[in-house]
Structure formats: structure tokens, C-alpha cells
Amino acid sequence: MTDTAHQGAEAARCPYAGGDGGPLPDPVPLYGPAYKRDPYPLYRRMREAGPVHRVEFPSGIHAWLVTGYQAAHAALNDPRLGKNHALGNANWRRLASIMPEPQHSALQVHLLHQDPPKHTSMRRLVLDAFAPRRVESLRPRFQQLADALVDELPETGGADLVAGFAAHYPFRVLAEVIGLPAELAARFDRDWGKVVQPVGPQDPGRPAYEARLRGLQTYIADVVDRKRADRAAPGWTATEDLLGRLVEAHDAGELSRAELDSMVFQLLVAGQEPVTNQITTMVVTLLRHPDQLARLRDSLLGSSPDSPRDSPRDSSPDRPGHDPGTLARAVEELLRHDAAFELTTWRFLAEDDDLFGTTVPAGDSVIVSLCAANRDEARFPDADRLDLDRTPNAHLAFGHGIHYCPGAALARAELQVALATLLTRLPALRPSPEPGEGLDELGWIPAVLARGVDRLPVAYDRRA
């Protein structure tokens, strides 16, 4: 289906998709199946109407959404906008989909919710583990992990790429990078990852959400105890053990226990779930554009559609005869076109102030729509079109400014390996032909801030 045809089909389902539907409601509701399937027609209308809009989330909380590339870029770098939840006003605290106490105080003082100077010192502790040079040195291991998962998929027919690949690959990579022992990694319950999809105090799913939090909190305590024991063992070195390094920082007085647990929480959950979702959005996008999928796969195999193909196992982007820039450009464009981190986390003004011509009260939440910014025609010509060769491509999928994702280099490497492996080892990858499993019938996760699908049934020929 072409971009235009897809947008037209979605417009019929989304009450705010059309360009001539009158004024936007106030607040604009950011929820519902139609919105989650395709928020981009609504984002286009919002950009055209202005850079700041009052919006409503499922919990009933109202916030101020920043749309448009220029405004988003400025907001992400605006020192007036703090991330610490202590800046939120009473109404925000009453309705916001945030963790309840006592977990909020114990697990939510990580990097995403800190301001300088504390943010600066905490961020410094993790940067070496995610440095581009270290990430590149681990790429062969990432390839092994991806191949092992594909080896477990059915040899012919098809599979659910979430259950069979995307749900597991980012966590296996993360465990290697941060030094999570294999026995602890095996105990991690993926259901705990849903704690990054908080629900409001009145939501019927709140008890299950709180149970996940308690289970994860117990697991984090076990991780800290194990890493403290590892650090005390002869021959321990901090070079390859980020978790151990964080425990060391706590024991040296650089981190409080809540800060330590929060950073472990952020690594275990925020370090994997967005990559899982991004793999799904990338594959869905390519399945909607089969010609571009085929062209990318042929490029990865170093062949034209009619020429002999190299071994599908050899999907490394730096092998002889392959331009590594092709895959890198494709991943950047797929990140721009449909980012898994749709909206940023909360920001707050300490006092009433002007934000792009709108007066925003102190303590009200301000959120930046990264996806809306990445489809801004003022920055990206023909922004709704998927162009795998687009350059330059200064998208905001990883944010910008002091809160730019510290794991961006790792995420890029994971996504490049994952995409190349799936395209080259699953010949003729295509949407599942089974009833109820088409692309327009996928279930998009109801997360407030994220985009992704919870199942991705596909078909393919014989697994390579």
C-alpha cells in the first residue's frame, strides 16, 4: 500500500485525520485505536495549527504537546523545562500515569527524571559502556545473538516476529553490554517491561501494574546483591561491568540507593523495550513498502534482483562488496519515519511562562512529540514519504540536548544487525496471509509514550 493510500484508509477511521475537519478539539485526545494505528494525520493538523496544543491522555491528565521540528528542537534544549517530577503540580500528580509510591521514589530518580548537576554526574557513569567504539567491538556478538534467535524460528511458513525475535533480542544484547549474569538474565520476566506503560490511579489495570512493579523491585535488589558479590571477588574489573560499576558508585557515596536502583531499572527496562518496539515499527514500515524492502535486501546481499546471491548468513554491513552506508541510512530513515519513542517523558516549567506563544502554567506537563517533529515538511522534504537514501537526516528519534539518549549508538547497532539479519535470512519476507493477521489488523500497544505492535505475524520462504 502506498503512503497516500494508507493515509487515506486511516483518515476514514480517525476523527481528526482530515485536513478540512474544522478546528481541533481542546484538549486534543491522544488515545484510541485509530490514533495508535496512525497518529500522523493528526500530527499534521496540529503542526499546521501551531506549535503547542493542550492534549488529554487516557488517565484524564492534560498536558501541553509541542509539535513541529523547530519548536521540538528548541524545547528539548530549553533550560527552563526541567525533568524532575518534583516540579509537577498537584493536579498532575493526582491524574498522571506515573508509578505509585513507594516505587516512584525508589525507581524513578534515574537519568530521564533528573536535571543538572545531578543529571550530569549520573550520566557520566554510563557513557563509557555505550561508547560507539565499544559498541562496534561487540557487533560480532550481536550478530551471533540475532542468528541464534532466527535459527529457532520455523524453517518454513512464517512466525510472529515479536514472540520469536523482537521480544528477546534487545534484552540479550543488553545483558551482554551491561554485565548481567546469564542466570539473572534467564530470570527476567518480560512482563515486567510493561511498567514503562504506566496506567492512571483509576485504571482497572492498576493492581496488575503494581504487582509487576513489586516483582521488578525484588529482581533489582537481587541484581544489586549479585553485582556487589562479583565486585568483591578477586580479579574483578569495572571495564566490562556497568552494573558493577554502578554498585561501586553507590558504595563510594556517589549514588543514593534509590538512584542506584533507578538506574538499574532504567537499564533493564528502558534499555530494551524501545528497541523491541522499534524493530516492529521498522519491519511494519518495510512490509508496507515491499519494493523498498526488496531493494534494501538486495543491497544487503550485494546483488540485483536477477543476480546470484551471497550467503544470507553474511549480513555484516562491512563485508566486501557491500556499502555499509546503505544499511545505516535505511535505519536512520526508518527511525525518522516511525519512531518507537513517540513522545518524550514529562517536562515542567518552574513558574508560569510563555512557550512558543502559549502561556503554560507552572507544574503542568510539557511533552515533545518526536514523531510529529520527524514528519515536519519544513525540515524534511516530502516528509511522509519513506526514502531509505534520505540525507541529511537530522531526525529527533533519540531526542536532543542533554537528555539525548546515551544508548543511541547501541540502539543503532542493534537495529542494523536485527534488520539485516531478518531481511537476509527470511527470504521473501511478507505480511502473514492468515485471516486476522494483516498489517491493518495489527494490535498497536496502548502505551502513552511509545509506538509498536504486540504481535507481528509474517510469512517467508525457507529460512536461510
Closest C-alpha among 453, 391, 370 to residue 160: 453
Contact 200, 60 (CB under 8 A): yes
Q: What is the pLDDT along the chain (464 residues), one digit of tens a residue?
A: 334 333 333 333 444 444 456 789 999 999 999 999 999 999 999 999 999 999 999 888 899 999 999 999 999 999 999 999 889 998 888 776 666 666 666 777 788 889 999 999 999 999 999 999 999 999 999 999 999 999 999 999 999 999 999 999 999 999 999 999 999 999 999 888 777 666 667 778 888 888 888 899 999 999 999 999 998 888 788 778 999 999 999 999 999 999 999 999 999 988 888 999 999 999 999 999 999 999 999 999 985 444 334 445 555 545 444 567 999 999 999 999 999 999 999 999 999 999 999 999 999 999 999 999 999 999 999 999 999 999 999 999 999 999 999 999 999 999 999 999 999 999 999 999 999 999 999 999 988 889 999 999 999 999 99
pTM of the model: 0.89
Contact 224, 242 (CB under 8 A): no
> And the C-alpha cell for 158?
512464517
Cell 513498502 identifies what position?
A: 289
Q: Strands across the sheet with 62-66, in order?
A: 28-29, 52-56, 62-66, 365-368, 347-349, 81-82
> And the C-alpha cell for 374?
520527524
The pLDDT tens digits of the residues spanning 326-343 come to: 999 999 999 999 999 999
In the chain, what is the straight-line distance between the N-terminal and C-terminal CA atoms, in Å? 27
The pLDDT tens digits of the residues spanning 93-138 come to: 877 666 666 666 677 778 888 999 999 999 999 999 999 999 999 9
